[in-house]
Structure 1
Amino acid sequence: MDFEVWPEAIELGRLFAEQGYELALVGGPVRDVLLRRPSHDLDFCTSAKPEEFEPILRRWGHDGFWDMGRKFGTLGAMRRRADGTEVQVEVTTYRSDTYDPDSRKPEVNYGDTLEGDLSRRDFTVNAMALRVPDLEFVDPFGGAGDLAKGVLRTPVDPEQSFADDPLRMMRAVRFVAQLGFTIAPETAEAICRMNERIAIVSAERVRDELVKLLLSDRPRAGLEALVESGLADLVFPEIPALQLEIDEKHRHKDVFEHTMIVLERAIALETDADGPVPGPDLTLRLAAIMHDIGKPRTRRFEPGGKVSFHHHDAVGAKMTRKRLKALRFDHHMVEDVSELVNLHLRFHGYVDEPWSDSAVRRYVKDAGHLYERLNRLTRADATTQNRRKAAVFAHAMDEMEERVRVLKEQEDFDAIRPDVDGNEIMELLGLEPGPMVGRAYKHMLEYRLDNGPVEHDVAVAELKSWYASVQS
C-alpha cells in the first residue's frame, strides 16, 4: 500500500528510532490518508514514556511545545515550515483509557504494544497505524475494509469498548455526521443498551461532540442517529420530544421532521467567509434545531381539529437557555441562541400587514447583532408546501430587508439613541439621578424609534410634555 506521508512524520520517526523507541502515526491522520482528505494535526503513539521522549519532541518542535496532557501521557510540539504553515504533533505513550463506574474522568494506564493500544481505540477506522519511519501499515482489526464500506465498528466487543469510555457512543453519531458512515448493527445495538452510561461523562465533553456534529457536513444524519440511539433522551431530551404523536383528527406538522428541514434550509442560507453569516455557523444551527422546542409544552387541541402552540417562542427560549447552560455553552452562545428562538416568529406579522418604519426600526434594534441570522432562521422556518404562501412570504421578507437597507443609509441603526441624553434629561427636568431619569430615557428612545431623528427642540418639547403627563 502506497502512502504519501508528511516529511515531518518521517523525520520524527527517525529521531525516536535513534533512541530505540517505536513511533507510529495513528487514528484520524491515518484514516484521512486513506480517504485522501487533508489532515492538519498529526497524532502519534510511542513505546516511550513522556519523560523519555520529551527531549526528542522539544528538539524537533523548536517553534512550540506543550504538556497540558502530561497526566494522560501526551506531549505536543509545533514547527513552522519555510512557507509559514504550521505542523502540530501530539505524541502519546501506548495506553489504555478506562472509567471507574462512578467517575466522570478516565483513568490512564500505559500499555506495552502498538496493537494493544489500537485495540483500545474507539472504532476500527481509527484503529489503524503507520509505523514511522519505515511506513509499515498496521491494521489488526480490519479498519481499511470498514473504511471502504463506510461502517463504524468497535475493535473489541462494543459493550467493553463503551464501558471503557462511554463518550465513544457520542463519537459514533458524530462520525455519522462528519464522515457519512453508518453504525454497524451490533455496535448500534450496544449503544441502545448502554446509552444511560453517558451520564458519567462530563457535560463539557458531551458538548464538544455535539458541536463537532453540528458543524459537520451532515448534521441532520448525526442528529437522527443521536435520537435513534436513545442518547438524545439523556443529553438533549428536547430534540426527541419534538416527535409528537400525530392523529388523524388533529393534524399538524411532524415537528421533528420540520426541525430537520429547517436545519438544512438554514445551512443552505449560510454565506461564504465574506458574507454576514459565514458557514458553518454554530449559533444559527443551534437556533434552527431549538426554535420549536417549546411546542410540546404548549400544544393545545382546539375545536374543529386544530392544534395551537401559543407562546412556544417564549417558552422555547427559556428551555433553550436552560439546556445550553446545562451543556456548559458559554454565556454569549446561550444568550444569542435563546434570543433567536424568542424572536423567530416576530416577522410573521409583517406578512399580513407591512410594518411602519418605526416597527422596522424596532425589529432591527431588537435583533441587534443577530439580525442577519434571525432573517435566515425566519426564512428557513417557512416550510409551507403551498407555493402561493411561500411566494408571498419570500416577497415580504425581501421587501422588509430592502426597507432596512434604505433606512440604514439614512441612519445608523446600531447607534440609535434618544435625541436627548441622560444628562440633558436631568438638566431639562431638574432631576437628580434615579428611576425617573431611566423612565424618561426609555420614553425618548421609544419616541426616537417611532419617529426617526427629529429636531432637538421637537425632542425637548416631547420630553417636557411626557414629564408633565406622568406628574399629573
Structure 2
Amino acid sequence: MENPRLPELPLFRTIADAAGELGYPAYVIGGYVRDLVLGRPSKDVDVVCVGDGIQLAQQVGRRLPGKPRVTVFKNFGTAMLPTSDIEVEFVGARKESYRAESRKPEVVAGTLEEDLARRDFTINALGLSLNPADFGTLVDRYDGLGDIGRKLIRTPLDPDITFSDDPLRMLRAIRFATQLDFDIAPDTFDALARNKERISIVSQERITTELNKIIMAPKPSYGFKLLFSCGLLHLIFPRMAQLQGVEKVGQHAHKDNFYHTLQVLDNVVAAGGDLWLRWAAILHDIAKPATKRHDKRVGWTFHGHEDKGARWVPGIFTDLKLPLGEEMRQVQKLVRLHLRPIALVKEVVTDSAVRRLLFEAGDDVDRLMLLCRADITSKDHQRVARYLRNFDVVEQKLKEVEEKDHLRNFKPVITGEIIMETFGLRPSREVGELKEALLEAILEGKVRNEYEEAYALLLELGRQKGLVAAE
C-alpha cells in the first residue's frame, strides 16, 4: 500500500502553525487517515497533540477566517471546531486504564505511542504528522497500512485486553469488517468469542447503533454471520439467533430460516431498501421458530408466523431501543402483510383481493412488493423466475385497481357519525358492524366508495337490522 498524503487544505497548515507556536507535536489520527488510504470520503478529522488539545483548538480557531466558535467538552478533555468543509476534534495524547465493571476509562496524559496503543484496531492507529519538520509523514507503529492492504481487522495489542477493557470494540470489529469487506484476524476473532459475555456492560443504545451500521452496510449478511459465529448474536438479539437450524422428520426438512433471512436482507439491500425496510426483512420470519409444527401429510408448517411476528415487533423495538413511532408501525405492517402478495401469486388475482391489499398496505404497498420479491430465495432458478413473473402480473393489477378505485389510504365516505345520525344510534357494536359491512361491500366491489351508492346500501343494511332512518 502507498503511504497516504494529506490533502492540501489550508486548515492543516493552520493547525501545524498553531501547534508549532505552542510547542505541541500534533497529528491527524484514526479514521480520516484510514479513509484516505481506502479512497473513502470523510468529513471528520481527529487531531491528537502531545499537550493540551483544548488550548490547541482555541489557538487554531483564532487563526481561521471568521474565528469559528470552538465547542469545549471539559469532562472529556476534547474540543470541536467546525469549518465549512470538515469538522475537527482536538484532544491531547492520553493513556487509559479500565475497571472491570465499566467501559469508561480513567484517562491521563500520555505520549503519542501510548495514544496509538489505546486505539481499537491497527487500521485506526495510523497518523499523519502536522509538525513542520516532517509534515505529512505517516506514523504507523502497528502496521495498520499493511493490514489495510491485507484487508484485515486486528487489534494493536492483546485482543483479550482490548475487548475486555471496552467490549463495544467487539461490535466495532464486526462492523468495520462488514462495511469494508475485511477479514477479522484469527486471534482477534477468537478473542471475540472468549469475551462475548462482556457485552453485558455496554448500553443497549450503543449496541443498537453498531447493529444499525452493520445493517446499513453493502452486504449486512456478512456481519450477521460473524455475530452468529462468535456467539454475540445470541446475547444481543437472541430471537434472530433462534432462526438458525434445520429440523428433519422422515423425508421432511425445512429450510434454515436464519440463512434465508440473511439472503432476503441482502436482496432488499440490492434493491435499495432503507434501514426500516431492512429491519422488516430481518423480522419477516422472526416468529417461525415459535409457530413451527410438523404435519405427517404436508411436512413442516409455520401457520400464523406473520401475525405473531407482527405482534412481536413493538417488543423487539422496545428491547433494542429502536424508535417506537412511524418507523416501528411501518415494519410491523410489512411483517404482518409479507405473505399476502405471495398468496395472490398462487391464485387467480381478483379485484377484490387486490383492493384489500391496497387498503391494508396503503402507501407502503410498493415497499411491501419489494420485500416480497426479496423473499423469493429458492435455489430453483426457474421457480424464482416464475414467481417474479407472477409478481409482475400482481403489480400491474395493483396499478390498474389503484387508478380505478384510489384505495391507498382511502377512507369510507360513510363514517360512524353519519351512521349514528342516520339511525339515531349511540356509539355501539351495531355501529361498528354497519361500518364493517359497508367496508366489505366496497372492497368486494359491490358498491363504489361514493356517497349516494354507499348511503343507499347503508339504508338497506339498516332495514335488515330493523333500524329506521331518522326523518
| TM-score, scaled relative to structure 1 | 0.89
Among 30, 35, 40, which residue is 1:32 paired with?
Answer: 35
Give the partner amino acid of 1:179: L
- Is 1:425 the counterpart of 2:419? The answer is yes
Residue 364 of structure 1 corresponds to which residue in structure 2?
Answer: 358
1:382-421 equivalence runs, <5 A: 382-421=376-415
Name the count of aligned residue pairs: 457
Give the partner amino acid of 1:95: R
Residue 163 of structure 1 corresponds to which residue in structure 2?
Answer: 164
Residue 82 of structure 2 corresponds to which residue in structure 1?
Answer: 78
Query: In 2, Cα distance between the equivalents of 1:410 and 1:395?
Result: 23
Q: Deviations over 1:171-209 (max 9, x none)?
A: 111111111111111111111011000011001101110
Residue 323 of structure 2 corresponds to which residue in structure 1?
Answer: 330
Among 240, 251, 254, which residue is 1:252 paired with?
Answer: 254
Residue 117 of structure 1 corresponds to which residue in structure 2?
Answer: 115
Per-residue deviation, 1:350: 0.9
Task: Give the secondary-structure state (helix, strand or coil) at the position aligned to 2:86.
Answer: strand
Q: Deviations over 1:39-88 (max 9, x none)?
A: 222122223435423523543485865648542223222222xxxxx322
Residue 305 of structure 2 corresponds to which residue in structure 1?
Answer: 312
Among 429, 451, 460, which residue is 2:455 paired with?
Answer: 460
Check conservation: 1:45, 1:92, Cα contact below 8 A: yes
Give the partner amino acid of 1:326: D
Give the partner amino acid of 2:83: R
Give the partner amino acid of 2:100: P
Per-residue deviation, 1:10: 3.0
Q: Deviations over 1:265-301 (max 9, x none)?
A: 222222xxxxxxxx5x111222222222211122222
Task: Give the secondary-structure state (helix, strand or coil) at the position aligned to 1:242.
Answer: coil
**Of 165-174 and 396-405, the range deviating more from structure 2:** 396-405
**Of 7-16 and 154-163, the range deviating more from structure 2:** 7-16
Cα gap change, 1:47/1:376 in structure 2, threshold over 3 Å: closer, same or farther?
same
Per-residue deviation, 1:106: 1.3
Residue 147 of structure 2 corresponds to which residue in structure 1?
Answer: 146
Query: In 2, Cα distance between the equivalents of 1:344 and 1:421?
Result: 29
Residue 354 of structure 1 corresponds to which residue in structure 2?
Answer: 348
**Of 375-384 and 51-60, the range deviating more from structure 2:** 51-60
Task: Give the secondary-structure state (helix, strand or coil) at the position aligned to 1:414.
Answer: coil
Task: Give the secondary-structure state (helix, strand or coil) at the position aligned to 2:82.
Answer: strand
Cα gap change, 1:220/1:455 in structure 2, threshold over 3 Å: closer, same or farther?
closer
Query: In 1, Cα distance between the equivalents of 2:18 and 2:90?
Result: 13
Give the partner amino acid of 1:71: N
Residue 83 of structure 1 corresponds to which residue in structure 2?
Answer: none
Per-residue deviation, 1:345: 1.0
Check conservation: 1:61, 1:77, Cα contact below 8 A: no
Query: In 1, Cα distance between the equivalents of 2:147 and 2:65?
Result: 34
Check conservation: 1:195, 1:231, Cα contact below 8 A: yes
- Is 1:197 the counterpart of 2:198? The answer is yes
Query: In 1, Cα distance between the equivalents of 2:346 and 2:169?
Result: 49
Q: Deviations over 1:223-260 (max 9, x none)?
A: 11111111101111122212224347332212222222
| TM-score, scaled relative to structure 2 | 0.89
Check conservation: 1:21, 1:47, Cα contact below 8 A: yes
- Is 1:297 the counterpart of 2:284? The answer is no
Q: Deviations over 1:14-41 (max 9, x none)?
A: 2232222232111111111112222222
Cα gap change, 1:69/1:239 in structure 2, threshold over 3 Å: closer, same or farther?
farther
Show structure 2 runs of 5+ residues with no match.
none
- RMSD of aligned C-alpha atoms? 2.5
Check conservation: 2:218, 2:269, Cα contact below 8 A: no
Residue 276 of structure 1 corresponds to which residue in structure 2?
Answer: none
Query: In 1, Cα distance between the equivalents of 2:98 and 2:317?
Result: 26
Residue 374 of structure 2 corresponds to which residue in structure 1?
Answer: 380
Query: In 2, Cα distance between the equivalents of 1:423 and 1:206?
Result: 48
Residue 266 of structure 1 corresponds to which residue in structure 2?
Answer: 268
Residue 181 of structure 1 corresponds to which residue in structure 2?
Answer: 182
Cα gap change, 1:71/1:334 in structure 2, threshold over 3 Å: closer, same or farther?
farther
Query: In 1, Cα distance between the equivalents of 2:65 and 2:290?
Result: 55
Question: What is the percentage of aligned positions where both structures have the same residue?
Answer: 36
**Of 259-268 and 223-232, the range deviating more from structure 2:** 259-268
Check conservation: 1:266, 1:285, Cα contact below 8 A: yes
**Of 400-409 and 300-309, the range deviating more from structure 2:** 300-309
